[in-house]
Amino acid sequence: MTAFPGVGDAMPDIAMTAADGSAVKPSDFAGRKLVVFFYPKDDTPGCTTENKDFSHLSEEFAKAGTALLGVSKDTPAKHAKFAAKHGLTAPLASDAEVGGLSDALGIWREKQNYGRTYMGMVRSTYLVDAQGRIAQVWSPVKVKDHAAQVLESARAL
């Protein structure tokens, strides 16, 4: 089994596509802390709540010198629609390419639901320090109060 990056390791610097179609990668945030939160799918109840919670706290994250980036496999156009519909302020990125960041981190994997097996995103959050190293990992994530917990860890880092 492959060992995936964890606490103390460099965050893989793999490009994704932002909602506006531009490329975005972890090194774009060098010199400040970064929270990358991976979620399964736009516009589903848990994912909407998680995105709203991070967006609601985005100013507090900024005060803590921490950027936010929400990631799923959804298309940039779907991200833009999702963000507009719910007034989301945390930037979103599409990690749709095979071999993308979620693959490199080992969180795009086989899941089961109601006897059906499929590939899916394990809801996970990575706190990356200003030097690009993974400082903390939450996986799998329970949405309730998660964004506030991540904010406290970002402030302490």
Residue 132 annotated among the catalytic residues of the structure: no
Structure tokens at 46: 């848990």
Query: For residues 15 and 10, what is the distance between their CA atoms, to the nearest angstrom?
Result: 15
Answer yes or no: are the C-beta atoms of 40 and 49 closer than 8 Å. no
Q: Enter the pTM of the model.
A: 0.95
Q: Which candidate in 11, 24, 47, 154 is catalytic?
A: 47
The pLDDT tens digits along the chain (157 residues) read 457 999 999 999 999 999 999 999 999 999 999 999 999 999 999 999 999 999 999 999 999 999 999 999 999 999 999 999 999 999 999 999 999 999 999 999 999 889 999 999 999 999 999 999 999 999 999 999 999 999 999 999 9
Interatomic CA distance for residues 43 and 77, integer angstroms = 13
Other beta carbons less than 10 A from residue 61's beta carbon:
22
Backbone dihedral angles phi then psi of residue 154, each to the nearest 5 degrees:
-65, -40
